[in-house]
Amino acid sequence: MLVQDKRPAGLADQVGRVCALDGAVLARMRHEALTVPDGWVAEYGEFQSGGWWTLSLFSASGDPGDVTITDCEAVPTSLLERMPATRALLDSLGLVYMWVRLARLAPNSFLWEHRDYGELSDREHHRLHIPLQTNRSAGLVLGGAKVHLAVGDLWRLVPTNAHGACNLLGPDRIHLILDCYGNDGFAKLAGHSRLHDGDAVMLPSASEAELDRHVDDAVRLARLGYTDTAERSLLRLFYRYALPEGRVYDLLAAMHTALARPGAAEAWQVKKALMLSTKDDGGRR
């Protein structure tokens, strides 16, 4: 894999560090995240591989198990009441929260290429991440780059751009995901994001011959009887190569076409439209 860091213009506008956070506070928050929560919820099944679990710290209802985000006047959940260090940090940021979630991404787990916020109102929405536990194989892939969100900073992501999340090898990646409304506090805190050297790794391009080889390998797996495995092996290519938007779903359709399964091929094209839908059509997590 290419390990150069030639960030394309505009990548830092899509994802980047906003400000440093106190290490001792983060350590305490990590301790809370690893010891307090139970009853993790698997939601947004269409958009993930399995292995992505969330609990809400701010939600519409105050119930931590209520993890489907929507516009609301969010209230602290009963889980946040048991996480005082996390509560103090969230209260200190001066933000207006729409929803705040604790998100755990297990090893070998993925949020497939998608866009967010499609179902929300026209209010100004923003997303921030606070990594609490991570590893170098975990990252966000967008704009042909893999960006590792390191612990220590508050990060901003513009999730209306097509992106995916991965934790290739583990251990668990645990982030706070803050969805908030625009206000003076946000503008002051997060108006400018930047990337440090080494944060982003440009993914290599793949030739058509290489992609054909991967499809052939997937067809072989499917013919051995492991169709699910074959599909996942192609979906993982999004995290390995810089691919045009939606290309990985085209590869899945091509695999099923090669297997003479036109229904499955068509289903993947439908899924592509769902995952990469614009605001008008919906698309959520």
Partner 1 sequence: MTLASIAELVAASRPQVFTLLERATEKITTSPHVTHVYVRGSLAAGRADRMSDLDFVAGVADEWFEDFHEALDTFMITEFNAILPGWRDTIVNKMGGIGYVYLVENDGKLYQLDFYLVPASRADDVPTRTTRACLLHTREYVPACDAALRLKVAKYIAQTTERPRTSAELMVELLVLLQMVYKRVRRGQHFSAYGEWVMARETVRDLVRSSLVPTSPNWGWYRLEEELATTPIGRACGRSLHDLLLLQPPTNGTELDNIVERCLHIAEMAAPATVAQLADAIGSYRAYLDLN
Which residues of this protein are in contact with partner 1, per CB under 8 A?
Answer: 1, 3, 107-108, 135-137, 168-172, 217, 220-221, 223-226, 229, 232-233, 236
- Cβ 51 to partner 1 shortest distance, Å: 9
* Torsions phi, psi for 170 (to 5 deg): 85, 180
Pick the closer one to partner 1 by CB: 6 or 213.
Answer: 213
Which residue blocks in 101-226 are alpha helix, DSSP H? 184-190, 208-224
Pick the closer one to partner 1 by CB: 38 or 122.
Answer: 38
Pick the closer one to partner 1 by CB: 6 or 136.
Answer: 136
Pick the closer one to partner 1 by CB: 98 or 200.
Answer: 200
Question: Taking Cα atoms as reference points, which of 242, 162, 153 lies closest to residue 199?
Answer: 153
Pick the closer one to partner 1 by CB: 55 or 222.
Answer: 222
Cis peptide, bond prior to residue 171, ω within 30 of zero: yes
Question: Taking Cα atoms as reference points, which of 210, 119, 105, 213 lies closest to residue 165?
Answer: 105
CA angle 81, 85, 135 (to 5 degrees): 115
Q: Are 81 and 207 contacting, i.e. CB atoms less than 8 angstroms apart?
A: no
- Cβ 133 to partner 1 shortest distance, Å: 10
Q: Are 54 and 39 contacting, i.e. CB atoms less than 8 angstroms apart?
A: no
Residue 47 CB partners (closer than 8 Å, separation 6+): 111, 112, 114, 275, 284, 285
* Torsions phi, psi for 157 (to 5 deg): -130, 135
- Cβ 224 to partner 1 shortest distance, Å: 5
- Cβ 89 to partner 1 shortest distance, Å: 25
Pick the closer one to partner 1 by CB: 196 or 220.
Answer: 220
For the chain, percent helix, then strand, then coil, each to nearest 5? 35, 25, 40
- Cβ 228 to partner 1 shortest distance, Å: 8
- Cβ 122 to partner 1 shortest distance, Å: 40
Q: Are 190 and 12 contacting, i.e. CB atoms less than 8 angstroms apart?
A: no
Q: What one-character DSSP code corresponds to residue 8?
A: P
Pick the closer one to partner 1 by CB: 47 or 239.
Answer: 239
- Cβ 233 to partner 1 shortest distance, Å: 5
